[in-house]
Amino acid sequence: MTAPSSYSLPEGIVGLKGPVAKPAPGTLPLRGDLAHVALAEDYLAAHYVIPQLRSLGAAPATLKLAMRDDAEDGATIAAGEQIEMLDVAGDWAWIACGPKGPSGYVRLSMLEPVRDA
């Protein structure tokens, strides 16, 4: 799988060279257990994921900072905008607008269905 053209995947051995400030929730696509692969050179996570390109459906989506309808709101993404899906758990998808964010959770029903090739 290739990365979207807006960034390149890290090559060779990556490692951190010192303390790194933790970004604010809803900004970078980084959790304790998972991070966008483009962040591997700068942030430590248990796993890195190559995102799947998807699009939002016909309505704008307000990202949630946790997988709950009553969670704090994050950024609002325009209807039809292309996003990067990083993880799916139950009825929720963790998405980002690229490796610089914003990131957050939306219900899977907010995404355009995958079209067969």
- Is residue 2, in this structure, part of any structural domain at all? no
- Is residue 15, in this structure, part of any structural domain at all? no
- DSSP assignment of 86-103: EEEETTEEEEESSTT--E
- Is residue 55, in this structure, part of any structural domain at all? yes
What Rg, from alpha-carbon coordinates, does the chain have? 14
Sequence-ordered list of residues with C-beta below 8 angstroms from that of 28, at least 6 positions apart, any chain: 35, 36, 39, 43, 96, 99, 100, 101, 103
Number of domains in the chain: 1
- In the beta sheet, which residues pair with residue 61? 77
* Domain harbouring 86, CATH code: 2.30.30
- Is residue 101, in this structure, part of any structural domain at all? yes
Rounded Cα distance between 29 and 83, Å, is: 12
Q: Which two tokens stand for residue 37?
A: 């692969």
- For the cut 90, the answer to whether the pLDDT of residue 44 exceeds it is no
- For the cut 60, the answer to whether the pLDDT of residue 88 exceeds it is yes
- For the cut 60, the answer to whether the pLDDT of residue 112 exceeds it is yes
Average pLDDT, the chain: 89
- pLDDT over 90 for what percent of the chain? 70
- Is residue 53, in this structure, part of any structural domain at all? yes
- Mean pLDDT for 1-14 is 63
Containing domain of residue 81, as a range?
34-110
- For the cut 90, the answer to whether the pLDDT of residue 56 exceeds it is yes
- For the cut 50, the answer to whether the pLDDT of residue 113 exceeds it is yes
